[in-house]
Structure 1
Amino acid sequence: MMLEAIYLDIALLVLTAIIAPYLRKQPKILYVLASLALAFTLLVSLEESLSGTIATGEMVTDWFTSLILTIVLADILVVIASSFQALNLSPEGPSFIATLLLGITGLIGLSHAGTILMLLVSWILVSVTSYAMIALMKDKYSASGATKYGLMSLASSMLLLLSLTFVTTQDPKLSITPLSSPPIIVAVATLAFSAAAFGFKAGIFPFHGWLPDTYGISDPYPVAVVAAISKAAVILAFYKLAILIAPIVSSHWLTLLGILSVLTMTYGNITALLQKGFQGILAYSSIAHAGYILIGIAALSLPDPHLRYLAMLGLLMQLVTYSFAKTGLFLLAKLIRQKESPPLKLEHLNGLSRVDGSLAASSLILVLSLMGMPPLVGFWGKLFLFFSVVGPATWLTAIALINTGIAAAYYARIIKAMYFEPGSPNLSKDRGLKVAVIISAIISLLAGFIPIFLPIQ
C-alpha cells in the first residue's frame, strides 16, 4: 500500500508540473494544486518514516532518508503556502512552481534510490532544477549566479557518473548494497570522486566557487528554496554511498571527510566575518554549515552503532536548523531587497526591530538557531554531531567548537544591525513572506524540544 502511495505522490507532482504552464491565467488554481501535491507528498513521507524500512528492488528507504525528505518538504511547503503574492506578481511564477515540483521529484528519487542508476538520474534532476530555479528570476545578478551554478552542477554530475562507474565494475546488478570485497583502490577512488561531486553541490571547500555568487548576489527568493534542497540532496547521496563502501574504507572515509569538514567550516566562517553584505554573510555561512554537516557524514563510517545513530540524529537536527533558518533569513532579504536592485548590505537591516518587531524577533530566533544557542534546534544539531566524533576524531570536535565561536561573531553583527543600529528598512508589503519567516522561527523554536522525546541509544 505504501508503494502505491509513493507512485501516486510522484504522479501528482509530475502532472502538476506538466500542466503548470497552461494555468498561467489561473494562478490561484495552480497555487492550490501545487500546495496540495506538496502536502500529500509530506504526509506520505511522514508515514514512511513511521513505517520503517521499505525495500523492493528499485525502491529502498528507511526512517532516516524518509525524515530527511520530510524536513525539506515541510520547509518547502511553508514557503509555497506563503508565496502566492510573490509568485503571482512574477511572470515566471508558474515555471518556478513546475521546476520546483520536478526538483522535489528528484529528491524523492534520491531518498528511495535502491540502484545506482536511480541515484544518478535523481541527482541530475535535482541539479538541473536547482540551477533552473535560480535562472528563472532573469535579473542580471541571478543570471550571473545561475551560470556558475549550472557549470558546477554539470561538473558535479559528470564526477558522480565517473565515481559510480568504479562501483559498477564490482556490482553489475547496480544495487545500492554493501559491496562484498572490492579492491581498496576502487573504493577509495569512488569515495574521492563522489566527495568532489557532492562537494560541488553543497559548496564544500575547495569546490565552493559558485556558491558566494549564487547565494550572495542572486534573487533571494529561489535561494531560500534551493539552499534546503541542495543540502538534503547531498546528505541523501552521501548516505547511499556510505551503504556501498563505508565499511570498506572506514578510516579513509573519516579522515578525508573530516579534513574537508575542517577546511570548509573554517573557510566559510572566517570569510563570513569579512563580509559587509547580508546575503554575503548568509552565503559563506552556508559553506560553514556544509562543514558541520560533513562531521555527521564522516561519522557514518564508524563501527560503533551508537555513534552512527548520534551522527544521524545530528544530521537531522542540523538539516532542520539550516533549512528553516536559511529559508527564513533569505525571505527576510527578499522582503527588503527590491527586484533588480543590488544585493543587500548589512546596513539595510538597521532598525528592523523598530519597523517590524515580530519580523525582527523571528529573524533573531533564526540567527540564534544557526549560532547554536540552546535550547533552539541548532544547539542540538551541533551537540549530536560533535559528540558523534569526539572519541574517534577528537581533533575534529575541537576545531568545530572553535569554529562555532568564530561564527558567533558575524551572527552578532546581524543582531546588532536589527536591534542596535539606527535605520528604517523599506519592507515589502508581501504579508505571505513575512508569515513564512515567522513560521520558520516558530518551527526552529519548537524543534528544540524534539530531543527530549528521542530514544538515545
Structure 2
Amino acid sequence: MIESAFTLICFILIGAGLIPPTLDFTLLKGRKIVSPYLVLLGLTLSGIILGYLSIEMFGQGTVPIYGRILQVGFFEIFLSLIATIGGILVVVASLSGVKDWPTSPSFYSLLALGVLGSYFLISMGDFVLLIGAWALVSIISYVLVGLKKDRASTEAAAKYALMGILASVLIIYGVAIIYGLIGSTDVGTISDLTGNGKFMLLLGSVFLVAAFGFKIGIVPFHGWLPDVYGKAHPTLIAFLTGVMTVAVVGLVVKVLFPLASALGNQWPILIGILSIITMTFGNVVALLQRNVQRMMAYSSVAHVGYILVGATAALSAGRALGLQGIALHLGSYAFAKVGIFVFLAYLLRKGSGLHLNDLKGLGRSMPIVSVAVGIILLNLIGIPPLLGFWSKFYLFTSVIAVSPWIALVAIINSGISVGYYIQPINYMFFKGGSEPPEEKLGDSESITIIAALVLIIVGGLTFPMIAPYLVT
C-alpha cells in the first residue's frame, strides 16, 4: 500500500511539474496561466495521500519500499506533510505577485518537482538515491533563487550555486568513502561496520556534515545564506525555508544516526559544538541587523542551531525526545518563516521597504496582518502555547541529560533572540509612520500569513499530543 501510494504521488507531482508549464508556454502562450492552480491541485492531492498514510502508519516505525531504496515511517510522512503544506502556502502566496512574472510557469514547475525531491531526501535509504535527489533539489534551488532575474536575485543565485557545487562535491566524496568501506549503498548497513576503517569513516562523515552544513546554514558553512536569504525575492526564500530546509534536516537524520552507531561517542560531541556555534552566531548577528529580511536570514541560521541541539540529544541518550523536538521545530520553523517571508514579499509588492523604519505604523494600516506577524514572531521566540514553545521545550529538555551546558546555552540564545524578534513588533505597533501601505484581506499574501498563523496555533494545541508517536 505504501509503495503504491508513493508511486501515485510521484505521478501526480511529476505531472504537476511538467504538464502545466507546457500548457502555459506552448498552447496558451501567456493568454492565461494555469500552472499555479494545477500545481496547487497536485500538492493538495499529495497532501491528502500523505495524510491517509499518516493515519495508517500512526506510531509505527519505518518500512522499506522499492527494494529498501526508501525507508518510510510515521516520522518521515510527518516531515513530508510539513514540506507539502509549506509548498501549498508558497503557491497561494504567489497568486498576487509571482503569478504575473514572465518566468512564473517555470516557478510552479520547479516548486512541484522540488517538493517531490524533498520526499526522497526525507525518506532516503540508499546513497544512490541520495545523490540523485540531492542533485534534483539543489538545481531547483539555484534556479528558483534567480528566477526574479533582477540584480539581487542573480547575485544571490550565483553565490548559492557556487556554494552548492562545493557541497555536491563533498557529498560525492563522503558517499564514495563510505561505500568503499561498507561495500554497499544501503544506508542501514553503516551500523554493521566495526573496527577497521574508523578514521576513513570519520573523514567521510565530516564531508557529509560539511555538505549538509552548506545547504542549511550550519556555521562555519553558512557564508552564502545571509546573502541569499537576505537579497533574493522573499517569496522564493519562503520556499527554501518551508520546503528545502525540512528536506535536508530529514536527510541529516537519515544519515547521522547510522553513522553515530558506527563512530561512537565522538559524533554527538561534534554535533553539539556545531549547535552551540551556529545558534550563538545566528542570534548575535541577527541582533545587529536593521534590514528585516537579513535579520530573518540570520535567524534561520540560529534555528538550525536549535535543531542540532535535538540532534545532539538524539545521537546520545535521548533519541526519541530529540527526534520529536526536531519534528516539532521543523513544523514551527517552516510555517513561521513562510509567514514572515511572505509578509516581506507583501510589503515589497505594496511599494514599501524592508528596514525596521519601514514597518512604522503598520499596526494601524495593516492591523490583522500585523497582529498575525507579531504572533508568528512570538512563536519563534517560544511563547506558550504556540508550537514554537513546545518544539523548544522538547529540544532543550532532550539535551539536559546529555549535556546541561548545551541546554543552558540554548536557553540563553533563546533569550537573546527576544531582542531582535521584538523589534518588528515594536516598530509596527508603537512607532508612527507616514502613509504606510494598507492591507486587503483578499490578497493572497494576507491569506497565506493568516493560514500560517492558524497552523502554528493549532499545531501548538495538537502536535504535542502527536509527538510521542513520531518515534517509537
Asked if these proteins are the same fold (TM beyond 0.5), I'd say yes
How many Å apart are 1:291 and its aligned residue? 0.5
Query: Which shifted more, 168-177 or 388-397?
Result: 168-177
3-state secondary structure, aligned to 2:171: helix
Q: 1:194 aligns with which of 181, 199, 208?
A: 208
SS at match of 2:332: helix
Counterparts of 2:51 and 2:256, CA distance in 1: 23
Separation in structure 1 between the aligned mates of residue 320 and residue 173 of structure 2, nearest angstrom: 30
Match of 1:94 among 105, 112, 120: 105
In 1, the alpha carbon distance for the partners of 2:73 and 2:437 equals: 46
1:130 to 138, 141, 144: 141
Q: Residue 62 of structure 1 corresponds to which residue in structure 2?
A: 73
| Aligned partner (choices 288, 308, 328) of residue 339 of structure 2 | 328
Answer yes or no: is the 8 Å Cα contact 2:123–2:254 preserved in 1: no
Give the aligned residue type for 2:157: A
* Separation in structure 1 between the aligned mates of residue 206 and residue 70 of structure 2, nearest angstrom: 26
The unaligned stretches of length 5 or more in structure 2 are 25-29
Q: Does 1:213 align with 2:224?
A: no
CA displacement, residues 105-149 of structure 1 (integer Å, 9 cap, x when unaligned): 211111232211001211121111111111111111111111111
Number of equivalent positions: 453
CA distance in 1, matches of 2:387, 2:264: 29
- Per the alignment, in what secondary structure is the counterpart of residue 55 of structure 1? strand
CA distance in 1, matches of 2:282, 2:140: 25
For 1:270 and 1:452, how far apart are their aligned partners in 2?
29
Greater mean alpha carbon deviation, residues 15-24 or residues 424-433: 424-433
Identity %: 32
CA distance in 1, matches of 2:14, 2:165: 23
Residue in 1 that maps onto 2:456: 444
Letter in 1 for 2:64: A
Query: Which residue, 417, 424, 431 being the options, matches 1:421?
Result: 431
Higher deviation after alignment, 16-25 or 386-395: 16-25
Counterparts of residues 180-191 of structure 1 (less than 5 Å): 180-182=192-194, 183-191=197-205
Structure 2 distance, partners of 1:454, 1:87, is 35
Answer yes or no: is 1:32 the counterpart of 2:37. yes
Distance 2:399 2:31 in 1: 52
Residues 1:269 and 2:283 are matched in the alignment = yes
Question: Displacement of 1:280 after TM fit?
Answer: 1.1
Quote how far apart the aligned CAs of 1:352 are: 1.0
Q: 1:282-321 counterparts in 2 under 5 A? A: 282-302=296-316, 304=317, 307-321=318-332
TM-score of the superposed pair, with normalisation by structure 2: 0.92
The equivalent position to 1:166 in structure 2, one of 173, 177, 193, is: 177
Of 141, 144, 166, the residue aligned with 1:155 is 166
Q: CA RMSD in A?
A: 1.9
Higher RCO structure, 1 or 2 (CA under 8 Å, sep 6+): 2
* 1:252 maps to 2:266: yes
- Measured in 1, the distance between the counterparts of 2:156 and 2:216 equals 15
Cα deviation digits, residues 85-121 of structure 1 (max 9, x gap): 3233111111000111111121111123221100121
The answer to whether the Cα contact below 8 Å between 1:188 and 1:252 also exists between their aligned partners in 2 is: no
Partner of 2:27: none
2:371 to 337, 361, 372: 361
Give the CA deviation at 1:330. 0.6
Q: How big is the shift at 1:31?
A: 2.3
Cα distance change, pair 26–295 in 1 and its aligned pair in 2 (3 A): farther
User: Residue in 1 aligned with 2:444?
Assistant: 432
CA separation of 1:85/1:412 partners in 2, compared to 1, >3 Å: closer, same or farther? closer
Task: Please say if residues 273 and 281 of structure 1, whose CA atoms lie closer than 8 Å, have aligned partners that are also in contact.
Answer: yes
Letter in 2 for 1:352: L
* Cα separation, 1, equivalents of 2:173 and 2:299: 30
C-alpha separation in 1, matches of 2:79 and 2:322: 13
One-letter amino acid matched to 2:460: G
Match of 1:370 in 2: 380
State the AA in 1 paired with 2:429: Y
